[in-house]
A and B are shown apart, each in its own frame.
Chain A
Amino acid sequence: MIEVRHITKSFAGQKVLDDVSTIFDQGKTNLIIGRSGSGKTVLLKCIVGLLEADGGEVLYGGQCFTAMSGNDRKKIRQKFGMLFQGAALFDSLSVEENVKFNLDMFTVMSDHEKRERVDFCLRRVNLENKNHLYPSELSGGMKKRAAIARAIVMNPRYLFCDEPNSGLDPETAIMIDRLIKEITEEFNMTTIINTHDINSVLAIGEKVIFIHNGKKWWEGTKEEILEDENPELNNFVFAARAIKKMKKFEDI
C-alpha cells in the first residue's frame, strides 16, 4: 500500500500539484488519469522520489519515504519496478542486457536462471527472439514493451507505469493492460498507472484518481466513473467515447 498525504509541487511559482492525498491499494491496479499536462508524471515522480515535493509525504507500507535517508530509499527502491513515459532503456545495452540488468546487479542467480527469467519476461510482452537488438533498432512500441519486461523482471512489490500503452496499437495496448493487471494480482503488487486512455480505465481501473488543475478532482472505480455527474470528469471521459457513440449512431 502506498499513501500520499498533502503533496504539493510547483515549478517556478506555477503550482502543478495542489494538496493531493490518496491511498493506492495493494493487489490492485490504481490509475491516475487526467489531461495532458495535468501533472500525472509529476505526481508519479514525487511518489517515487525522483522529484522532491515541496510539501506533503509519501508512505510505503506505513513507512515515511519522504523522510528516509538515501540508503534506506535505495533499499525500498530495489522493490520498485518503473516504466518511464519514454521507456528509458539503456541504449548501450541490448534488450536482453537491459532486462537482465537488475538480475545482474542485485541477485546471485546463475547465468542459466537469468536467461530463463529474461526470456520469460520477454515472452510475456511478445518480444521473444529480440534479445540481441539494441534500443535504437526497436520501434517505439517495442521499446515500451522491453521497458515493461525490465520493470517486472524482479517481481517488484511496487510497480509504476507512466503511460504504458501510449504509442501502442489497440490490440497490444489491451494485452499490456491485461499483463499488468495479471502480474499485479499474481504477486499482490501495488501498481500505479498513469494514463489518458479511457479504454484502459474501463478495462483495469480498479481504483481511479482523476487529476484536474493540480488537484485530486475525483476518485472512484471504473464502474462509478460512467455514472458520475462531475462535469470535468464527464468531459474527460466522454471526449474519447464520443467517437464511439458517433460510430454507433452512423451504424443505425
Chain B
Amino acid sequence: MNLLQHIGRYTLLVMKVFDRPEKHRMYYKRLLRELGVLGINSIGIVAIISFFMGAVITIQTAYNTENPLYPAYLIGLAARDSILLEFSSTIVALILAGKVGSNIASEIGTMKVTEQIDALEIMGVNSAGYIILPKIVALIIFAPFLSILSMLIGIFGGWIAGVSVGVVTTADYVYGIQYAFIPYYITYSLIKSVIFAFIITSVSSYHGYYTSGGALEVGRSSTLAVVHSSVVILLFNLILTQLLLS
C-alpha cells in the first residue's frame, strides 16, 4: 500500500471512530480505564525524563555561557524557554509515542488477530468507536496535564542540578525563570500536546486495527505505530511552530 492509500484508510477509520456511540455509559467506563492505562501510568516516565532533561539543559546552558559578558540569569531563562517551547510538548510526545503508541497498537492488534474485534462487529457494536475513541479522548484529556507536570519537574530538575553542580545560584536561577516570561509559550505548548496526543492515539490505533496475521504481525504493527507517530509528530511540530509562533 502506498502513502495515499494509508492516509485514505486512516481517514475512514477516524470517521468511523467518531460515529455515534451505541451506549454512552459503556464508552465512559472504557474511558475511565484508558485514563488509568494511558494517562496515570505515564506520569512516572514523564517525571523521570523531565527531571533529568531539565538538569542537563541547565548544566549545558551554563557551560556554554561561561563568558562573563552573559548575565547569570540567562541560564534560568534559557532552561525555561527550552523546556516550555520544545521539551514539555514535543519530546514528551515522542516519549509517549514510544510508551503509549506501542501499548495501543499491540493491544488493538492482538484483539484483531484473536477475532475480538470481529466479535464486537458481530454483536452490532462499532468496534472502532468503542475501542479507539476512549483512547483518543483519554490521552487528549491527560496530555496537557502531563505537559504541565513536565514543565514543573523540568524546571525543578534544572534548579537542583544547577545549584548542586555550582554553575548557578538559586537567586539567579529563580530570577532567570521569571525574566521576560511569555505566558503564551505555555498555551502554545498545551495546544501542541493536545494535537500530539491525537496523533499518537489515532496513528497507533490505525496500525493495531489493520493488523492481520498473528503474533509476529502484532509486533510489527507496534513498531510501525511508534515510528509513524514519531514522524508525524515531528512533521506537525514544524507546521505548528510556524503557525503558532510566527
Contact = CB atoms under 8 A, between A and B. Distances in A.
Contact of A77 (B25, B33, B111, B122): B122
Contact of B123 (A50, A78, A92, A160): A78
B123 A77 contact: yes
A80 B122 contact: yes
Nearest to B123: A102
Interface stretch (B113-121, B180-188, B198-206): B113-121
A225 to B, nearest CB: 29
Contacts of B123: 77-78, 80, 101-102, 105-106
B119 A84 contact: yes
Given A104-B26, A106-B22, A84 B118 contact: yes
A238 interface: no
A77 B114 contact: no
A82 B119 CA distance: 7
A88 B22 contact: no
Interface in A73-92: 74-78, 80, 82, 84, 86, 88-92
B44 interface: no
A57 B149 CA distance: 57
Contacts of B68: none
Interface in B77-121: 110-111, 114-116, 118-119, 121
Nearest to A45: B118
Contacts of B119: 82, 84, 88, 90
Contact of A74 (B33, B114, B124): B124
A53 interface: no
Contacts of B114: 86, 88, 91
> What is the interface residue range for chain A against chain B?
20 to 34
Contacts of B116: 88-91
Contacts, number: 52
A102 B25 CA distance: 13
A102 B122 CA distance: 11
Contacts of B137: none
Given A104-B26, A105-B23, A105-B26, A77 B124 contact: yes
Given A106-B22, A106-B23, A78 B115 contact: no
A84 B26 CA distance: 23
B130 to A, nearest CB: 9
A86 B116 CA distance: 10
A48 interface: yes
A78 B122 CA distance: 8
A127 B119 CA distance: 21
A102 B124 CA distance: 9
A82 B22 contact: no
Contacts of B121: 50, 77
Contacts of B115: 84, 86, 88
Contacts of A50: 118, 121-122
B169 interface: no
B23 A104 contact: yes
B20 to A, nearest CB: 10
B124 A78 contact: yes
Contact of A80 (B22, B26, B33, B124): B124
Given A105-B26, A106-B22, 7 more contacts: A76-B124, A86-B114, A88-B119, A91-B110, A105-B23, A106-B123, A160-B122
24 contacts: A50-B122, A74-B126, A77-B123, A78-B123, A78-B124, A80-B123, A84-B115, A84-B119, A86-B114, A86-B115, A88-B118, A88-B119, A89-B116, A90-B116, A90-B119, A91-B110, A91-B114, A91-B116, A92-B33, A104-B23, A105-B125, A106-B23, A106-B123, A106-B124
Interface of A: 48, 50, 74-78, 80, 82, 84, 86, 88-92, 101-102, 104-106, 160
